Structure 1
Amino acid sequence: MFKILLIEDDRTLFQEMNERLSSWSYEVHGVSDFGNVMQDFSTIHPDLVIIDIQLPKFDGFHWCRMIRSHSNVPIIFLSSRDHPTDMVMSMQLGADDFVQKPFHFDVLIAKIQATLRRVYNYNTEKNELKTWCGATIDYEKNTVSNPQGMIELTKNEIFILKQLIEHKNNIVGRESLIESLWNDKRFVSDNTLTVNVNRLRKRLEEIGLGKYIETKVGQGYIALEEGSI
């Protein structure tokens, strides 16, 4: 049974989500103190975190930063605000997905299932160390390292990188990446993929590899080999 930490201060919505998620055999936990969410996080050790953006004391972005400083647990944001920047900020902070309120519960379940399947089924696969452009990629630890340093990627970032490297020097279409990541493109904004790829490229730039991921406008993305630039 997967444990979900639901950081939502609307008690009516929390109760409804708790009942619906429990009916899908998820173990749902709430927050006892919105001023100290990390205490509940550390005690519960959730498999997935769902965070509302508008919260008392500190907003969801604050708690996402705090969680990401300790863990790569998958995070899904909720927001009732109609601001595209909310989704962009969420992804830049390392969230795995974003759900706009009001939402149909089937959409939320689909996103939860896709996220858990991607993260935990992927982790059970045998993943050998791979090399690319002089860097070593550890798919189990979500790290990329070379003489310039080592970076740790989120689950989405390492998954995107893996898909691109497996087809290096060939364009991987946007729709193909979306379906691989989220299983059903009907529930995913095209901008969600753009933000994730841009974040991946920015992280790779820290160790001099950002230039090896190229955008092919109107088509998708391509991972180049060293020496091809």
Structure 2
Amino acid sequence: MKKIYLIEDDPKISSLLKDYLERYEYEVFVVEAFDMIMEEFQQLSPHLVLLDINLPRYDGFYWCRKIRHVSNCPIIFISARDSGMDQVMAIENGGDDYITKPFNFDVVQAKVKSIMRRIYGEYANTKQADFLEISGFHLYLTAMEAQFKEQTALLTKNEFILLKALMEQLNQVLTRSTLLEILWDDETFVDDNTLSVNMTRLRKKLEDIGIHNSIQTVRGAGYKMINTWSGLA
């Protein structure tokens, strides 16, 4: 049974979400102490986090960053704050998706199910090797880590999905709409800018491990990845 860690300070919303998601055989744990979120997270080792932004003491962006220091667990923000900037900040701080309150419970369940299937279930790539490798550059599929010359970059779910798609179609242009479809089931739920944000973060992480200028923007088309590191391996 997949575990969900629900970090929400409204007890009514927490109770309703917990009851609803448990009908679909998820094990839902509601936060108990808002100053002990990291301790609770590490004790639970959840498969997914539902995270509000407006929380006591520290906001959801803070806790998302803290979780990202230790885990690539998928994080879905749920918040009454519906500005585009809040959604961009959620992605920039390591979130994987964003749901605005008031929300439809079916939408929450569908998004949770989609991420669970993609990362852990029937859409997870379990029949091939645990990594992709190109000229000494490795992408580890289970750990969601990129590695080059003993330098490792931890990736968020979206960064991992983008890098995997680019590596699998090296030297081929992937359109923005294609990449959005890979990231999300329904393009209407995302702003096109979130793709740019994720791509910028991915480029920075690759540069940090020695992979420079490999992801190129093709104006008017999309993105492609080229091998700029083979002579460095």
TM-score, with normalisation over the residues of structure 2? 0.88
Moved more, 79-88 or 162-171: 79-88
- Count of residues in correspondence between the two structures: 228
The structural deviation recorded for 1:91 is 1.4
RMSD, aligned α-carbons:
2.1
Which residue is equivalent to 1:65?
A: 65
Which moved further from structure 2: 124-133 or 94-103? 124-133
Deviation digits for residues 36-63 of structure 1 (CA, Å, limit 9, x no counterpart)? 1122212322111000000011111121
SS in 2 for 1:124: coil
- For residues 112 and 189 of structure 1, the distance between their equivalents in structure 2, rounded to whole angstroms, comes to 19
Corresponding residue number in structure 1 for 2:49: 49
What is the 5 A alignment of 1:48-197? 48-121=48-121, 122=124, 124-132=126-134, 134-147=136-149, 149-197=151-199
Residue 93 of structure 1 deviates from its aligned partner by 2.0
Cα distance per residue 1:65-123 (max 9 Å; x no partner): 22112211111111212332222222122211111222222222221111111111326
Once superposed, which parts of structure 1, at least 4 consecutive aligned residues long, lie more than 6 Å away? none
Q: 1:67 to 1:166 in 2, by over 3 A?
A: same
> What secondary structure is seen at the aligned counterpart in 2 of 1:145?
strand
Identity of aligned residues (%): 43
2:213 match: secondary structure: helix
Tell me the CA shift for residue 144 of structure 1: 2.2
> C-alpha separation between the residues in 2 aligned to 1:214 and 1:189?
21
Gaps of 5+ in 1: none
Report the CA distance between 1:7 and its aligned residue. 0.3
Q: 1:162-189 CA distances to partner (integer Å, 9 max, x unpaired)?
A: 1011111111122222222222323333
State how far apart, in whole Å, the 2-side matches of 1:10 and 1:224 are: 47
The alignment's TM-score, normalised by the length of structure 1, stands at: 0.89
Q: Give the Cα–Cα distance (whole angstroms) in 1 for the partners of residues 211 and 229 of structure 2.
A: 12
Aligned to 2:201: 199
Bigger shift: residues 163-172 or 78-87: 78-87
Counterparts in 2 of 1:128 and 1:5: CA distance versus 1, 3 Å: closer
